[in-house]
Amino acid sequence: MPEASEFDFIDWIRSLQSSSPNLTIPIGDDLAALQWEKDDLLLVGVDQVLDGVHFDSMLHSPRSIGKKVMNRNLSDCAAMACLPVAAVATVALQRGTPLDYAKELYLGLCAAGDVFNTPVVGGDTASWAGKLALSVTIFGKSAGVQPIRRSGARPGDSIYVTGPLGGSILSRHMEFVPRIKEARQLALEYQITSMIDLSDGLSRDLRHICLQSKVGALIQAGAIPIHPDAIKLSNRTGRPFLEHALHDGEDYELLFTTPDQPRIGTRIGQITHDQEILLEAKGKAYPLQAHGWEHLIS
Rounded Cα gap, residues 133 and 120, in angstroms = 17
**Closest CA relative to residue 207, chosen from 88, 111, 290, 137:** 290
**CA angle in degrees (0–180, nearest 5) for 179-180-182:** 70
What is the nearest approach in angstroms of its own copies to the Cβ of residue 20?
Answer: 12
Interface with its own copies, residue 212, by CB under 8 A: yes
Interface with its own copies, residue 79, by CB under 8 A: yes
What is the H or E stretch that residue 235 is in?
helix 228-237
What is the H or E stretch that residue 246 is in?
helix 241-247
Q: Which is nearer to its own copies, 196 or 224 (CB)?
A: 196
CB 206 within 8 A of CB 217: yes
Interface with its own copies, residue 263, by CB under 8 A: no
x/- map, 39-58, its own copies, by CB under 8 A: -xxxxxxxxx-xxxxx----
Count residues contacting its own copies (CB under 8 A)?
66
Interface with its own copies, residue 295, by CB under 8 A: yes
123 forms beta bridges with 89
What is the nearest approach in angstroms of its own copies to the Cβ of residue 157?
Answer: 18
Interface with its own copies, residue 32, by CB under 8 A: yes
Cβ partners under 8 Å of residue 225, min gap 6: 161, 163, 164, 165, 245, 266, 268
124 forms beta bridges with 90
Q: Which is nearer to its own copies, 13 or 242 (CB)?
A: 13
Site residues (CB under 8 A) for its own copies, limited to 83-112: 86, 88-90, 92
CB 252 within 8 A of CB 198: yes
Among the listed residues 71, 97, 142, 158, the single contact to its own copies using CB under 8 A: 142
Q: Which is nearer to its own copies, 15 or 235 (CB)?
A: 15
Interface with its own copies, residue 253, by CB under 8 A: no
Q: Other CB atoms closer than 10 Å to residue 158's CB: what's the count?
A: 18
Interface with its own copies, residue 197, by CB under 8 A: yes
Question: Which residues lie near its own copies (CB under 8 A)?
Answer: 5-6, 24-25, 28-38, 40-48, 50-54, 76-77, 79-80, 82, 86, 88-90, 92, 121-124, 126-131, 133, 135, 137-140, 142, 147, 149-151, 196-197, 212, 294-295, 298
